[in-house]
Amino acid sequence: MLVFSAANVSEGRRSHVIAAIAAAVCTRPAVSLLDLHSDPDHNRSVFSVAGPPAAMSEAMFALIQGAAQHIDMERHEGQHPRIGAADVVPFTPLQGSTLAQCRDLARGLCARVGGELQLPVYLYGAAARSPDARQLADIRRGGYEGLRIAIDKDERRRPDCGPSTMGRGGAVAIGAREALIAWNVWLDTADVQVARRIARRIRASGGGLPALQALGMRVAGRAQVSMNLTDYRRTGLAAVMAALRREARREGVNLYGSELVGLIPRAALDAATGCDLQLLKSPCEQVLERRLVETGLIRSDRLR
């Protein structure tokens, strides 16, 4: 039985801090670090980790603890929205596990982090306790700075576990969800307002494509549309690329190139066969199933 996590940490610049957090994760037995993606402009790193459920809970606790020790949110700045040092820790079912088991794993880790580390913790996705599950975008509204002010004043923003106060480690969102694809596409302009208009029109909340989240920002001197495909079976890479090209033409700009952040299910990439995703590097090393086999977590004949 395996569980996967693409944990997002608010550090993408200091290599010694990133290495220390990775080391804390890798010392947990039976757990493998499949991929590590760091971005200095976002000032964020994505740790793609997989292993048995109990071991994954230990590994993610170590990641959250390490991030809170090494990262001071009072000094943190970056393009990506964030509320804490260990910003987001999702659990995703893999071989033999279920979303319900990931939900229980997330809730157990929530209680432990809130109690032992005294960090505010928010449950989201399938792990949320209320029927109207908290959305990650709602939890991160206003970022670290906004949540620090609202956390003990607005009852709707009280954490599920831990104190209603924000220290230098900030807060953490822990959730359970199905596979998500993180994808960044650059435009051939530095005008960030163009990226923001495109993001607003294509994302689900703006009446665009279902199961698509998108933000516009400036990264590496270019405007970027940063996206999450929360259900690639409903809205795949090819559909998103078609929408991006349409909206870019409307703005009078072209797409410059794109990158996948972390790992991607093989089925999502196969579904986009024949579509030029304008990836700046080959995605072969970012196929989730390939990395699971290469690290010995599963045998190639056990791929589902």
The average pLDDT across 105-114 equals 98
HEC assignment per residue over 198-242: HHHHHCHHHCCCCCEEEEEEEECCEEEEEEEECCCCCCCHHHHHH
Q: Read off the tokens for 242.
A: 């078609």
Q: Is a pLDDT exceeding 90 seen at residue 131?
A: no
Q: Read off the tokens for 210.
A: 């279902």
Q: With H, G, I as helix, E, B as strand and everything else as coil, classify residue 266.
A: helix
The average pLDDT across 227-249 equals 98
Q: What is the DSSP string of 120-176?
A: -EEEEETT-SSSSPPPHHHHTTTHHHHHHHHTTT-GGG--SBS-SS--TTB-EEEEE
Write down the pLDDT at residue 299. Answer: 81
CA distance 285 to 93: 21
Write down the pLDDT at residue 43. Answer: 96
Q: Which residues of 47-66 are buried (b: 16+ CB within 10 A; e: fewer)?
A: bbbbbbbebbbbbbbbbbbb
Write down the pLDDT at residue 132. Answer: 65
pLDDT in tens, 188-203: 999 999 999 999 999 9
Write down the pLDDT at residue 233. Answer: 97
CA distance 119 to 172: 7
Active site residue 80: yes
Write down the pLDDT at residue 250. Answer: 98
pLDDT in tens, 3-26: 999 999 999 999 999 999 999 999
CA distance 170 to 76: 11
Q: Is a pLDDT exceeding 60 seen at residue 303?
A: no
Write down the pLDDT at residue 302. Answer: 54
Query: How does strand 44-51 pair with strand 121-125?
Result: unpaired
Write down the pLDDT at residue 79. Answer: 87
Write down the pLDDT at residue 304. Answer: 46
Write down the pLDDT at residue 14. Answer: 97
Question: Please, what is the average pLDDT of the chain?
Answer: 95
The average pLDDT across 175-187 equals 97
The average pLDDT across 92-106 equals 96
The average pLDDT across 256-262 equals 98
Portion of the chain with pLDDT greater than 90, in percent: 91
CA distance 174 to 61: 11
